[in-house]
Copies of this chain bind each other. A is one copy, B any other.
């Protein structure tokens, strides 16, 4: 399923998911104030956003609850404290990482939960476990997506196989995930065409989650949408790991569907993100460009920038040695 087409015109099928607290949570260890979260929830409603991802459903056996803010765990009662029964058009999503989530225990039946969608994130070799998690969430009554990470490091035949398997599952959406920010629009176009061809005839949709290493997160997201993807992940001010993500304000300034509204997002940035940018660091910088070009995990670049280094040539040489 998927509508190609001219983005300058109105494409009512396009949905937007706010991943600020999930991908941005990787920047500040999920330490968002309740005031921030409540305002973001209201902003998303006003801005016409379709889904708000609150964070991860991470295993408390595996991660120390004292080391992270509560949105790494997304207990249903913590979400409910913000959204109540959420009688709005904004749906609530959380991410469940394969191997890092006690999903059988921690994901309650949908009827008892404020959550609408479980996004299962996995690497390609984890697809079998992802399928179990998708089935579990589906059986409990949730919408589901499968976000196959780091596909820039995987052969097309493997991706093709994974997609064939997913097409037999009850998953609702499948995401193209550019974890390393290494895609250029041409890469995105080719992958989007492949994912969409696999999804043809099913009622599954394709999504795009981009990283901004080469300042192409927005361009790649547009490209995927124009080929027929139906949902794009964005974050306010691009807040997300390393170079960050496609910015909500970019996307809402671009989409022509009158349900979207950029102004509340600008208000939110003025009130919360100016301060946030003083407290933690994300966004485009030379080391992210280089790790994106070289298709490397951003962790070295994150460490380099944390040390306030600007000896970019050393970084370049170090990255090359890892190839």
- The reply to whether the CB of A274 lies closer than 8 angstroms to some CB of chain B is yes
Q: Are B214 and A293 in contact (CB under 8 A)?
A: no
Q: Is the CB of B286 within 8 A of A222?
A: no
A124 in the interface, Cβ–Cβ < 8 Å? Answer: no
Binds B, one of A32-40, A107-115, A246-254: A246-254
Given known A-B contacts A216-B219, A293-B254, A267 and B226 have beta carbons under 8 A apart: no
- From A45-53, A67-75, A198-206, A306-314, the one touching the partner chain is A306-314
Task: For A289, list chain B residues within 8 Å (CB).
Answer: 247, 249-250, 253
- CB distance B253 to A313 under 8 Å? no
| Residue A290, interface by CB 8 Å | yes
Q: Does B250 lie within 8 Å of A185, measured CB to CB?
A: no
Q: Does A280 contact B (CB under 8 A)?
A: no
Contact with B along A211-255 (1 / 0, CB 8 A): 010111111001100100000000000000000000101100110
This chain: copies in complex:
2
Q: How large is the interface on A (under 10, 10 to 19, 20 to 34, 35 or more residues)?
A: 35 or more
CB contacts (< 8 Å) of A254 on chain B: these are: 184, 214, 293
| A7 close to chain B: CB less than 8 A | yes
Q: Is A310 in contact with B274, judged by CB distance below 8 angstroms?
A: yes
CB distance from A307 to the nearest CB of B (A): 14
Are B214 and A215 in contact (CB-based, < 8 A)? no
- A161 CB to closest chain B CB (Å) equals 23
The residue that A184 contacts in the complex, of B7, B270, B274, B313, with Cβ under 8 A, is: B7
For the complex, would chain A's binding face be called helix, strand, loop or mixed by DSSP majority? helix
Is A316 among interface residues, defined by CB-CB distance under 8 A? yes
Check A6 for interface membership: any CB of B closer than 8 A: yes
Q: Is A8 an interface residue (CB 8 A)?
A: yes
CA distance A212 to B310 in the complex (A): 23
A interface residues with partner B (beta carbon < 8 Å)? 6-8, 184-187, 212, 214-219, 222-223, 226, 247, 249-250, 253-254, 262-263, 266-267, 269-270, 274, 284, 286, 289-290, 293, 310-313, 316
- Pairs across A and B, CB under 8 Å, 25 listed: A6-B186, A7-B184, A7-B186, A8-B184, A184-B222, A185-B219, A185-B222, A186-B226, A214-B250, A214-B254, A215-B215, A215-B247, A215-B284, A216-B218, A219-B219, A247-B289, A253-B289, A254-B293, A262-B293, A263-B316, A266-B312, A266-B316, A269-B312, A270-B311, A270-B312
